[in-house]
Each structure stands twice: as C-alpha cells, then as structure tokens.
Amino acid sequence: MKRRAWAIRSTPLRLTAIFLGIFILSSAASFVTAYLVIRANFDSTLEDEIEQTIEAYDAIDDQTALINRLKQDVEVTDAELTILHYVPDVGPVITNVDGFPPVSDFSIISEKVIYAGDEDISESYLANSERVGRGQLIVARTRSQVVEMGEIILSVVLIGLLPAIMLTSAAGVFAARNARRRIGTIQKTLGDLTEGQLAARVPVAANDRDDLTAISAAVNTMATSQEALIESMRQVSADIAHDLKTPIQRVAVILEEVTRKTALSEGQGELLGQALAETDRIVKTFQALLQLAQIEGGAARDRFVPTDLQEVAADVVDFLEADADEKGYHLELTIADGARFLVNGDRHLLTQVLANLIENGLRHTPVGSTIRVELSRNDGQIVLCVSDNGPGIPPEQRDKVWRRLYRLEQSRTTEGNGLGLSLVAAICTLHGAQLSLDDNNPGLLVRVAFPKVDKA
C-alpha cells in the first residue's frame, strides 16, 4: 500500500507517466495515420484494376462470347487473388467460388461471408458489382497486401515501440526513486531540525546542479542561519543568567547577614524575609535558565546510558509521596508487567522530568486530588504518563506551556517560574521522546513516549 501511495505522489513518476502517455499516443497516431494512408492508396489502386477488368468484359458486345470468355477466365483465375462471379439473367452462374454475397458499389468483403468450399481464399477482398451484358458481374480483388501491411506495422510497433516504452518506464522509475531518496533526505533533515538537532544538514554533492540540489542548499543555508541565531540566543540567555546569578546570590548573603546581625523590628524582619524569598526565587530561575541552555546544547548526551525507568519512577514517587500526603494529595504509581523499562538517557535528567511533572500536578490541582504515574509499553515504545484530576489545561493553551517563562496564571502570584515544562520539553527532545498533553476527563494527562532500547 505504501508503494502504491508513493507511486501516486511521486512527481517524477507522474511526469514520466504523462510524457510516456504522450509518446505512446503520438507514436500510435503516426502509425495509424501511415497505415490509413497506405491502405487508402492500395484500395484506390485496386479500385482502378477492378474498373478496368469490368470495362474489359463490358466491351464484349456478344452475350455468347462474354459467357465463353468468363468461363475460360474462371477456369484459370486463382480465387485467392481474384474472384469472378457472373449472374446472367438466364442460365447458370459463372464463378470460381461456390457463392458470393450481393455487392453494391465498392465494398470490403470478408472471407467469412464467401462460400468457397475447399478452395483457399484470401482473408479480405475489395469488390464491385456492375451490369455487364445481360447479367450482373462481380469482380473482387484480394486485399492480402493491406492485411499483411497492417501486421507488419503492428510488428514494428511491438518490436520497436515496446522496448522504448520499457526503457523509458525503467528510466522514469529510476529517476523517481532517486528523487524520492533525495527528497526523503531533505525531509529527514527538516524533521531533525524541527526536533532541535540544529547541526543536521542535507548532504550535497559538489557536481550536482539540479533543482533538488538548489533546494538542499537553501535548506542548509536556512539551518545554518537558524543554528547561529538560536546559539546566539542561548549564549545571551546563559551569559545573562551567569552574570546575574552571582550578584543576586551576594545580595541574598547580605540580606541574611543583615537579618542575623541587626536588631530588627517585626515589620523589618518580615520585609527582609520576603526579600530573601524573592532573591531565592530569582536564583532558581537563573539556575533553570542555565540548565535549559546546557540541555539544549546537547552536552548531556555524553552521559547517556541504558536506564531503567521503573527504578527512576519508583525512586521519585517514593521521595515525593510523603510531601504529597502532607499537603493532602494522593500519589499513585502503576507499572505494567513485563521486562525492564530501559531507555537510553541520563538518569538525573529523567528523574527531573518526572519530578517536574508531579510537582506541576501538585501545584495546579486542588487539595485532595490524585496524581497518577503510569509506566507501560505501546507498539515498541516505553510510555510514561502523569495524570491528575484537576482543572487541566485548555486546548488552546497547550502549545504555549512549553515556552520559557510562560504561565497560565497571568498574574504570576502563584509559586513557580514558568520554566518547569520548558525543562521537561527540552529533556524529552534531548532523549528523542515524544511529549504530548491530553484531556484526562477531568484533569491533564502528560504522555512521554520513549524509543525502545533493546540491549540491557
């Protein structure tokens, strides 16, 4: 089915089919026209010969002499070449066949309607009938040369045209497969770029100068510009976060020193406490930005090893369960039966993914809600799901929550910095996992599908 769909969608193959159809139709039209012209010329010659024969018999004035002449000619005339059929007004029929159908004007007569007995006759005749003497004379000449000519032209078509069609079709299929391969390479590169692999490029041969090469070069130019732009943005974000992190930490230390060494009133202590909390929040935001830049840079791939997600899930749930119970939430872990849930990745980052998703559920669902963590397999993929029965995320907002610093609660009075899901998305992309948000009816279902790792 895939091959059929590819053949229908392949532009080179469709163009080959179109041009091949035009070639076949034009060639067929040429052969048919040639055949019709030659046949018309040959039939015209036969008509002249038949007319001359009839005129020769019509020139005999004496009926008896005409009958005798016809009897002599019938005896020596080969019916396979010429048929003479004379029906006198009185007397027996003079003919070199057993029977011949009535004819008016020039007509093509098939052997199927001629009664010839055991005598060999031609497949087709051109015949005419005229009044000669006191009777009706039919003269028919074989059209075997026209039939043979048609067979020769058909043989020329089969011998000459079919190999050309086969070679053209083979060339079209080869060109289509080559174009498909190159287009597939372009599509794969675009897919890699979409998934964040900014170093992906389309291989381009130095001696290629066709349109696909131009497209490939344009894709590579775009990818280079995109990589440079994103790298610049990452570097700016990392530099800002790095440069501001230290001064803010120093401010936090100074505030702590003021709190510890200075006698403050109740109101002053409360304000300093709020300032310390805000500086701590700013430091965590910068730390998250720095970590996000490192993850997107791909440096963590060097630490990838086969990691059992079952162990990661059990550790994270066990660590957060007590805190969830204390806050009035219920945390559940469900693991499908089967072998180990191995993925190729960094254990620390995978732990952070699950912890962020659970904490996000605890932060945005009412007290008493249930947070469920499920680990299963689906079509060879390892699937990690975190769901809750809270308010969920509106469909129109789901594509926005992956953005840096984006928060559903626009007043920004709740806890958080809007980077938790951005980190989750970056880590999933780094691990080649597919991340999606769906309705849990009620609540939110976060689904992370990891590619399968066969080795233990």
> Residues near 178 by Cβ (< 8 Å), separated by ≥ 6?
none
pLDDT tens digits, 179-228: 778 888 888 888 888 766 777 888 887 777 777 788 888 888 888 887 77
Helix (H, G, I), strand (E, B) or coil at 159: helix
pTM above 0.85, yes or no: no
Q: Tell me the pLDDT band of 19, cut-offs 50, 70 and 90.
A: confident
Of 384, 386, 377, the closest CA to residue 431 belongs to: 384
Rounded alpha-carbon distances, angstroms, from residue 134 to 4, 84, 219, 267: 72, 16, 92, 145
Strands 370-378 and 330-335: parallel
Give residue 269's identity as a one-letter amino acid code: G
Angle CA 265–268–273, to nearest 5:
125
* pLDDT tens track for 334-366: 988 767 888 888 898 899 889 989 988 888 888
Residue type, 296: E
The string of pLDDT tens digits covering residues 391-422 is: 888 877 777 776 666 555 543 345 555 677 88
280's tokens: 């701590």
